Amino acid sequence: MKRTASLFIIAVFMLCSASVMAQYPSVTFFGGANMATTDMKFGTGETDAEDSYKALYGMNIGALYEYVLNKDKSQEIAVEGGLIFENKGFHRKPTGTQSIDNKTTLYFIDVPLYLKYLHRFRSRNKLYVGAGPFVGMGLFGNANFSDDSKSLKFGNDPIEHDYKRLDYGVTGKVGFLFLNGFNICASYDYGFADIKPLENQEAKTKVLRLSLGYTIRLDD
């Protein structure tokens, strides 16, 4: 928990420090839908059980702060970061040997940091792409079974806890910013962290995110 909190504080501090030198700052508030998947592995070899872990659909909501590093008539280079509250997890459907339906939902706060390229059209609408790292902290979760449910615990103890609290990886996005401020974006997070505390199990998160937002210029 202390290591997770420290990484979060460092990530937020870096974002706030860099914003001091901001040009043309803006903030975007957004929300949308998630398609979360989890790469599961058991032991050293592949098993049929790994194929039964399917996508879980959910939500995302958050805010991002952007500041421009370089700008000319038709293009911009910017840095963007913020906070995203969203769900991760998986839906394990019944198979021939596993008859229990399991929807595991993990709620995280993620801190992404994007380096963005924006192309500005004559209409002043903008097409953009971005990529960078993210770090996430698990808050709470639950597992819903066919006839039961369970609250999940975050931590590093393989006996007491179900999932590790720290997640991290890389993220990319593409979107379109309209002149009136509306913002459509698709982004994808690829987790590097193994969030299972058990040594013989491995779980890595992946999230496809579709969002609709509104961008406010702060220098007007």
165-180 confidence digits (pLDDT tens): 999 999 999 999 999 9
CB 42 within 8 A of CB 50: yes
CB 217 within 8 A of CB 26: yes
Tell me the domain boundaries of the chain.
2-217
CB 169 within 8 A of CB 203: no
Q: Is 3 helix (H, G, I), strand (E, B) or coil?
A: helix
Q: Is domain 2-217 given the CATH code 2.40.160.20 in the classification?
A: yes
Averaged pLDDT of the chain: 87
DSSP bridge pairs for 117: 77, 129
163-219 confidence digits (pLDDT tens): 999 999 999 999 999 999 999 999 999 999 999 999 888 999 999 999 999 999 987
